[in-house]
Amino acid sequence: MDNTYTLNIERAILSSVLFDYEVMTTLTETLKPSDFYLPAHEVIFETMIKMFNENLPLDEDFLRKRIDPKVVSDNVLIEILTANPISNIMAYIQDIREGARLRYLTKLSTNIKKQALENEISSNEISDFIKKSIDDMDADIDNIEDFSGDDIMNTHFEKVPLFTTGIDCIDDEIDGIANGQLIYVTGLEETGKTHITYKIMENISQSRKTGIISLEFGKEKLKDRLSNMIKNNHQLNPSNIKASFNCHSITKLEKTIRKWANDGCKFVVVDSINLIENSLIKDRFERVLNIGTRLFKLVQQLNITMFVISTSTKEDNKNGNPSIYGGQLLNNYCDQKWHIFRDFETEGRMLWINKNKQNFRYPKIELDFSKEGHIYKKGEFYRTRKEPEITEYKMDETVNVDIPDIDY
């Protein structure tokens, strides 16, 4: 029996992709098409990767359209479609990778014999050949980045100026927000973290495309909020706001934000990280950390600004140490942390902004919320900032705001 491959495992892996779209994220990070023993399986997985990168559904119909039946017979597809999908996919991935390594080493031993007997090269040359071959096996050469200093110096980077939040009492204290920043807004329930974050998004929508991944607000609730904000003379432009309400999986969230970024959206709110799922990680702490680090990488890759809302713990209010509930280590994977405290007796609120990894803290900002939704510094009247003119919305008693739902 050949222990370098198991076709049933290869079929189970490919079948799992068709039943659970999220599996593909893990596979693209851990497997290469050449890791599959059967050439037809290699072609199928390579096709799946291309479809995944093009945001296409990974199902039987789309797969058949992309695969040449002369290369992959219908019998092979049927065997995959009828195979049982698996849950503990990492164990099977390791099995496939182990088989691929054994086949590579077997082929290498043949090449060593050929080099020694036929080419009559020295033992030192053979040793160098073996070392290089082992390095090639242990490293994914296709994914290695290798830039020279000249390459970096000659790279053009888009210059994007700092932008303001549109909330005077906050803008008076901070030195602006830039693209490529991940900012966590934390606080206990009903402290105002959602209102502040949404208000910033609405202000920015006057002149820029913005997006909201709303996992706590439904479409109707978000429509009511935008309508009320317009009625109370808040400056926002609904046509510049994209929204999605079903991105509970981290994979779908990533794909949605990538699509928005390609469409020119550079500011995104995620509400909230506590409701994002990754079905491949069962432990809550590991799951939150994995999701947080993926959001951090996404922000860097797309050069966008992302505000992420997170419910914090009661200990944060006691010790004054803002953190992200379920993932203390996430404090290391952000540019700023905004923590909101609320005194439920006096209704006073305080915003505390920290720059991460710089031990720099902005002054604490005491806030008041008006019943119309305006935010101003405690003890001061709300001051209207002069903003670029936007389309004027005339309203009767109700306002219809169309919030599209992105679904893939």
What ranges do the domains of the chain cover?
Answer: 7-143, 168-377
Q: Token digits for 195?
A: 């209102």
Rg, Å, the chain Cα set: 27
DSSP class of residue 238? G
CA atoms of 367 and 353, how far apart (whole Å): 13
Residues with Cβ within 8 Å of 120's Cβ and at least 6 positions away in sequence, in order, are none
pLDDT at 316: 56
**Polymer length of the chain:** 408
pLDDT of 265 reads 93
**Distance (Å, whole) CA 372 – CA 381:** 13
What is the pLDDT, as a whole number, of residue 141?
42
Could you give the CA distance from residue 125 to residue 129 in angstroms, rounded to a whole number? Answer: 6
Note the pLDDT of residue 382: 44
CA distance 45 to 32: 8
What pLDDT, on the 0 to 100 scale, is given for residue 11? 92
Pair 185, 330: CB distance under 8 Å = no
Instruction: Confirm if 128 and 114 have CB atoms less than 8 A apart.
Output: no
- Non-local (6+) Cβ contacts of 230 within 8 A are 236, 238, 393, 395, 399, 401
Give, for 186, the enclosing helix (H) or strand (E). strand 182-187
- Residues near 269 by beta carbon (within 8 Å), at least 6 away in sequence: 197, 198, 200, 201, 210, 211, 212, 213, 306, 307, 308, 309
- The residues, ordered by sequence, that sit 6+ positions from 393 with a Cβ below 8 Å of its Cβ are 230, 399
Task: Give every residue of the chain whose pLDDT is below 70, as ranges.
Answer: 1-2, 120, 135-145, 157-161, 280, 313-331, 356-361, 380-408
| Amino acid occupying residue 255 | K
| Domain over 168-377 is classified CATH 1.25.40.10 | no
197: CB partners within 8 A, 6+ apart? 185, 269, 271, 307, 309
Task: Judge whether 182 and 257 are in contact, CB under 8 Å.
Answer: no
What is d(CA 32, CA 104) in angstroms, rounded to the nearest whole number? 13
pTM here is 0.64
**Per-residue pLDDT at 314:** 67
3-state secondary structure of 370: coil
Amino acid type, 157? F
CATH for 7-143 is: 1.10.860.10
Give residue 105's pLDDT.
Answer: 86
Q: Distance of alpha carbon 233 from its chain centroid, rounded?
A: 34
Cα–Cα distance, 232 to 212 (Å, whole number): 21
**pLDDT at residue 332, rounded to an integer:** 72
Residue 261 CB coordination number (10 Å): 19
Sign of the alpha-carbon dihedral angle for 20, 25, 27, 32:
positive
CB contact at 8 A, 137 and 318: no
